[in-house]
A and B are shown apart, each in its own frame.
Chain A
Amino acid sequence: MKSTASQFPQNAREALADETLQNVLENFADGFPRKRAAAISRLDEFDDLRDAARDIKNHVLANLDTYLTRFEERVLENGGQVHWCRDAAEACQTILEICQAANARTVTKSKSMIGEEIAINDFLERHDIEPVETDLGEYIIQLREEPPSHIIAPAIHLSKEQVAETFVEKHTDRDPDRTLTEPRVMLDEARAELRGKFLGADVGLTGANMLVAETGSIATVTNEGNADLTMGLPRVHVALASIEKIVPTLEDASTILRVLARSATGQEMSVYTTFATGPKRSDDLDGPEQFHVVLLDNGRSELLGSEFQDILRCIRCGSCINHCPVYSTVGGHAYGWVYPGPMGSVLSPALIGLEDAHHLPNASTLCGKCETVCPMHIPLPRMLRSWRTRQVEQNLQAATSRYGLELWAFMAKRPRLYRVFSAMASRVLRMMAGKNARIRWLPLGGGWTSKRDMPAPQGPTFMSQWKQNRDRYS
């Protein structure tokens, strides 16, 4: 998908003015956090599990090359194939060749963020292969030709009326005057439409939440069961996974599963967690004849050993996004690329370059909620600050903030001047505010005052109070 991350301020302004989106987001900000809190309150061991989950991924990252080769050995032993891909182009080409070798015309897909990252749908379409998204949310946005706006709830930005319009427009074999007001009816329609696609697909393309080194299994987690139908019905199963998805054993997978669903949707467990190991066996009545794992690097090896290594622990639960005040104000599309919210603002600059994504690390109040709720203890605010430091080093921040900071630094290095100026500014602001101590309009601060009042400074400056009351405090 083509990035519009460089237009974040413009995107955010449009999102704020979009009434439908704002209504949907209001609903969003309440749901996920409440469900997560309820699930965690039922499990005393949650914090211990988080620590253990973090330690597992740290251990894997410290031995990633060995773990990947162990995983590969097991996949080969089980009759599967492993394809190593350095970047999006290699991964797309590999998947295309697998599809072409199978004479594939249609490919069913279960939701994969890596699939979005490498834009596999566009690539397959250009080569006359029809990709069909099967996760309901992902299916809806595929019909609308939109990118996902959330990593676990891709159509969270849409109202049910918009979904109904899309179905009427795209499901042309059905009565255009049918009643589509209830989500239940829309779901049943989508289920019926997709049933034929599941049964008729030549290749099934899934992501993978984990790769188990012990057994050579790929693990998928869904609530709909679409990943299982995607991998179980066609002749060929391709699992697309990035290299950091490794866990050593089934026990390690269990520890991560215990924090994953609770952090994501507030479920104890997602409905379907599936470990798929190799192709159909000799007497099996169902299952794919071929089992491929496409291992994608796409910039992740660059993060190992860097100050951004910790983001490789991310299990894509979406908790940081669900709790982010910026995300719940502007939604996911404003971020302009595949991964929105705090984890995206850390990961995207690494994957598409800081120049393109330089606004994203600024799209945070650094309130720290994301780190608090992250089941893998990823220090997201620390890494957002690291990207901000790099922006300054690479001269990427906006001219106004650069000059503003230079001016402030000039004053701060001259304490006497600073004191005189701040006392003056404080008096002027209080005069502007008038009786109710609120400033309705501020020169150079229109961005702030157009949405809310600026509180006026209360009383004299800190330094003059300090001088006056020094005796009392000492």
Chain B
Amino acid sequence: MTEARAHILSKLNRAIVREDIGAGSVDDRIATHNTGPLPKRGQDPDQAALAARFVQESDLAGSDIQQLASRDDVPAVVAAYLRSKNLPPELRVSSDDIFGGVPWEGEPGLTIRDGVVDAADGAALSAAFAGVAETGTLIMASSPDNPAMHAFVPLVHMVILPESRISGNYEAVWADLRHQFGAQVMPRMLNMITGPSRTADIEQTLLMGAHGPQSLLIMVIGDL
């Protein structure tokens, strides 16, 4: 292994036609986080416009999206969504702080489970780290409070996204991430999710729910 490493690196070293001078420029390049051209789409004037853009783009990507005034509305929306998908009133909910203030008692028929999803779960609810207006993309950061598999194992995935966490573009989220986690530190899994799972592998017929969720519900919460 070390032999292969030395061999590959020395071959590269000999073959490379260098444009820059040495390792210093590489470390500078990594540290400066220069962005490429940023699309105008996503450079909206205020948070309300960004949220509107996010809603529009998520819809184009096939997500179901609802704008709620506050967390108080979550239980009723969740219960109705499960009914619309013919699923039992059961839900795996991640233990993110954001769910602390959700009045689940308002939907007594709904069974809420914590912990990580398993194969028997039809639906899971988790919290987004951010939303990106440019393409209606959710950014999910895995943690003990937000297990990554909630977004992939069940047939229905639901996400809470505070409106204040909607950014124009991916680059703004990376800046937030570094601010929150530290430079060069990543959550173990960072998932960018744009719509529900799909495939077109059989005669190019587009079908939702390939291996991941068939439906994705995003609840954008105004007051959080």
Chain A residues within 8 Å of B, Cβ to Cβ: 24, 27-28, 31, 42-45, 48-49, 52-53, 56, 58-59, 61-70, 74, 78, 83-86, 90, 94, 134-137, 140, 153-156, 158-160, 163, 183-184, 186-187, 191, 194-195, 198-199, 213-217, 223-226, 228-229, 232-233, 243, 248-252, 254-255, 257-258, 265, 267-281, 283-287, 295, 297, 301-302, 304-306, 309
Contacts and interface: CB of A to CB of B under 8 A. Distances in A.
16 contacts: A27-B203, A58-B19, A64-B12, A187-B207, A195-B119, A198-B211, A223-B200, A224-B197, A248-B29, A258-B36, A268-B135, A273-B191, A285-B115, A285-B147, A287-B142, A305-B15
Contact of A153 (B8, B36, B61, B200): B200
B190 to A, nearest CB: 4
A283 B5 contact: no
A195 B200 CA distance: 19
Nearest to A253: B170
A249 B204 contact: no
Interface stretch (B70-78, B83-91, B148-156): B148-156
A194 B26 contact: no
Contact of B201 (A140, A195, A251, A284): A140
Q: Closest 8 CB pairs between A and B?
A: A225-B212, A255-B36, A137-B201, A224-B210, A52-B36, A84-B5, A304-B15, A283-B144
Interface residues of B, number: 82
B105 to A, nearest CB: 25
B11 interface: yes
A67 B40 contact: no
A297 B8 contact: yes
Nearest to A256: B36
A83 B203 CA distance: 38
Given A27-B203, A229-B153, A85 B211 contact: no
B20 A154 contact: no
A183 B202 contact: yes
A313 B171 CA distance: 22
A229 B17 contact: no
Interface in B5-35: 5, 7-9, 11-13, 15-20, 22-23, 25-27, 29-30, 33-35
Contacts of A216: 186
Interface in B183-224: 184-205, 207, 209-213
B49 interface: no
